Amino acid sequence: MTRAAHLPSCDRQGAVTNLTVTLFFLLAGSLQAAPTVTKVEPPNWWTGHSINPVRVLITGTGFTGAQATGTGIQIDNVKVSANGTYLFADVRVTAAGKHSIKIATRDGSVIAPFEVLTPLPSAARLQGFSPDDLIYLIMPDRFSNGDPSNDDPAISAGLFDRSKSRYYHGGDLQGVIDHLPYLKDLGVTTLWINPVYDNVNHLNEKERYDNLAITDYHGYGAVDFYKVEEHFGDLPKFREFVDKAHAAGLKVILDMVENHTGPYHPWVSDPPTPTWYHGTAASHINETWRTWTLLDPHAPAEFRKSTLDGWFADILPDLNQDDPETARYLIQNTLWWVDIAGLDGIREDTLPYVPRSFWHDWMAAIKRDHPKVRVVGEMFDGDASLVSYFQGGKVRDGIDTGVDTVFDFPMYYAIRDVFAKGNSVKSLSSTLSHDYLYPRPDLLVTFLGLHDVTRFMNESGATRDGLKLAFTYLFTTRGIPMIYYGDEIGMPGGNDPDNRRDFPGGWKEDPRNAFTPEGRTPEQADVFEYVRKLARLRQQLPDLRNGQLTELAITDNAYAFSRGEVIVALNNGKQAELFDLPVKPGTWHDALGSLGDVPAHFTLPPHAAAILIKK
């Protein structure tokens, strides 16, 4: 065979090869999957809202090169993540109704639902909170099991076990609803609920605590910011809870988290933007909790960076609020929870670990639509100079965060020191002397215990009389008092998670039901009735809520002060104390009932208190 005879054959083979390659790529392109949608965040928005357009984050697959159009809504500013699993879009809302977002690529299209709602009526909602209120903190999982059907839901089977302190125990939103009459009778006016975000829904035997499976029964490890934890109920049940609380005359504060997600959030392995978090699971800074460095002019930049950018406890992925998409997502999510149920307030977790510039924008967004809604932030420290730095109302480092108030941790430490440990009452006065640091000391939320510390009754030296004195001071000093569930019956409990024991009687199998008078032990009944009496006096005497606080007498064991026209006297010692008060002559009556009628000069028995009003 000659060379010339081979040429046509080679040309034909090359042509066939080229055609095969071309057909392969054409066929591969035609086999690319059409886009899919698994989540739309937020799933709805409201007419007349100050945020319009709303920035929507859609999660799915196959979004590369996508275009988005709306039916009944306008779509702009579309952005797709590099791997095609997230699509951001501005959605401008007009008329209420069920609308849709069409996402189209060359390989197909998919419809993402989006609903526009009319705002809830504001009557009996969105009220905020003030010194006229008495707050009660509930950890839903440990309060009452109102719906056993959600104890061990299929999606997260195996996480329910009351015998294990870090598993779900079955408490839920229905359990709170069932005991609204108990709370109303106790005298509280406002309920603070730990986060209800959907949390971890699988077992992981390699977690670091106690070699047990870790569940986020407490709510602080979100895996979905727009879904209610299935162990607690669902979104309709949450709205039912808020509606029924409002109908009972109770306000609702919801715990929220802008600092971090849970370690099992889908974003951890596939973030919506490259800078959605500070670092990655494989490479990140550990949180050092050096909060003082945020206002220390001598602190190096790396100290502040670890405080603001570190992963909390080296576990919780730290959200980057300097990423505009992250910040917008978090602000909208906060407003969504407020608007979907008509919340009265927000408790904001881990306040100092987020930039002040974000809090300024976050608070401004809240106040634009709901000026009465108030926020209390967590700054866990006993130093008033640090805690006061995080209350809004004053420009610091060029920024006023606008955060309404913070928890009074310095006073918490003083209360424990005095009434549990038996030390000098002078530390109460010393703590009050720092009120000049706060723009609004009257708005500080005061407490003698909460879910992050040991129970009062677990302090060395704590007694029932000391607990009653602590409650007396808590309910009569300046600020907004808060009760941690179970403290009203003197529940014990050590360090986390022992301080989160189940409320006795919240489960049908419990041997005693402390929600009822007949179910309380004599010791529990003694504390409960005393707290209930104090709550009623606080409502009956406006001066105990808003009167000017003036100190009248201070020794190591005796302490007296006035709130307007009411006098409060406390004897924290083991001996009787004579009170010689600089007040106008006249006969006074002890509203607590232990002394009856008393003059301005009187003796108070050991470990006793009196609330004096003029006859």
Indicate which residues carry an active-site annotation.
349, 378
Pick from 319, 336, 327, 376: which is nearest to 130 by CA?
Answer: 376
φ/ψ of residue 381, rounded to 5: -160, 150
The string of DSSP codes covering 526-575 is HHHHHHHHHHHHHHH-THHHHSPEEEEEE-SSEEEEEETTEEEEEE-SSS
Q: How far apart are CA 502 and CA 64, in angstroms?
A: 49
If residue 357 lies in a helix (H) or strand (E), which one and from where to where?
helix 356-369
Phi-psi label, residue 128: left if phi above 0, alpha if psi -120 to 50, beta otherwise:
left
> Burial letters for 377-386: b for 16+ Cβ neighbours within 10 Å, e otherwise?
bbbbbebbeb
Q: How far apart are CA 80 and CA 341, in angstroms?
A: 31
Q: How far apart are CA 192 and CA 253, in angstroms?
A: 5
If residue 197 lies in a helix (H) or strand (E), which one and from where to where?
strand 197-198
Gyration radius of the chain's alpha carbons: 29
Cross-strand bridge partners of residue 318: 260
State the virtual CA torsion across 540, 545, 548, 553 in degrees, nearest 10.
Answer: 80
The string of DSSP codes covering 455-471 is -GGGSTT--HHHHHHHH
If residue 604 lies in a helix (H) or strand (E), which one and from where to where?
strand 601-604
SS (H, E, C) 47-106: CCCCCCCEEEEEEEECCCCCEEEEECCEEEEEEECCCCCEEEEEEECCCCEEEEEEEEEC
Cross-strand bridge partners of residue 61: 36
Q: Could you tell me if 111 and 102 are in contact, meaning their C-beta atoms sit under 8 angstroms apart?
A: yes
What single letter denotes the amino acid at residue 123? A
* Residue 479 DSSP class: S
